[in-house]
Amino acid sequence: MGQVLAWRSQSRLLDEVAQALRERIYAGVYAPGATLRQERIAAEFGISRTPLREAFRVLERDGLVVNKPGSGVRVATADLPKLLDAYAVREAMDGVAARHAAERATAAQIRELAKLVERQRKLIADWNASDYSQSNIDFHLAVIDAAGNASLPPLVPLLHLTSQVFAPAFALSCERAAAAVAEHGDILDAIQKRQPDDAERVARAHIHATAVRLKAQLAEKQKPIEA
């Protein structure tokens, strides 16, 4: 982490810094709630604080960081109610993506989706939470790509935020991952068969299943403590 990064383009420095920070948050290098110290990061990246502050503003708009006076910039944390709100949007987003993928995906895109599902099945057999989380992101990104809907890519930060940054702390287990992979297989099957109604239905149900688990955890946390 001590090596100064080589930025590809000075004209796009802001975008590159923001993306580098995103990748570290997604990878867990900067954990939820962690303080992002400007002086340290600027020195590590070999940049001034000006583009770094601008990059923080971009990440704040994405919902990845919060900047409170007196507290500095911190990686966002998600309580369960906030996460449930995000999953309500995810349910609609994933449904649209799957529907349009069933209508518009190319044969090559469908083959790629099949490869991703097969890889996930192997990951379940040799469980690794981090590898599974990345494969889950890869699958959903591939569905969005296959959808060919220009309104979906701007919502991709929500996918990372829910599935890669926050949800694993609440809901990720090998058992749930195995069920999710089976659901991915159902989504793939509907896309392969060019059945948009079924694709949307199973995609929405897939996200809803996670929301149900989160709601159960929220209810458990809100139970009064018996004396």
CATH number for domain 10-75, candidates 1.10.10.10, 3.40.50.300, 3.80.10.10, 3.90.226.10: 1.10.10.10
Q: What is the pTM of this model?
A: 0.78
18 CB contacts (<8 Å, ≥6 apart)? 55, 58, 59
The model's pLDDT over 13-59, given as tens digits with 9 standing for 90+, comes to 888 999 899 888 887 788 888 999 999 999 999 999 889 999 999 99
User: What are the domain boundaries of the chain?
Assistant: 10-75, 80-221
Torsion of CA 58, 59, 61, 64, to 10 degrees: 180
**Taking Cα atoms as reference points, which of 168, 174, 165 lies closest to residue 217?**
168
CATH superfamily of 80-221: GntR ligand-binding domain-like (1.20.120.530)
27 CB contacts (<8 Å, ≥6 apart)? none
The model's pLDDT over 172-197, given as tens digits with 9 standing for 90+, comes to 678 888 999 999 999 999 999 999 99
CB-based burial, 46-58: b 16+ in 10 Å, e otherwise: ebeeebbeebbeb
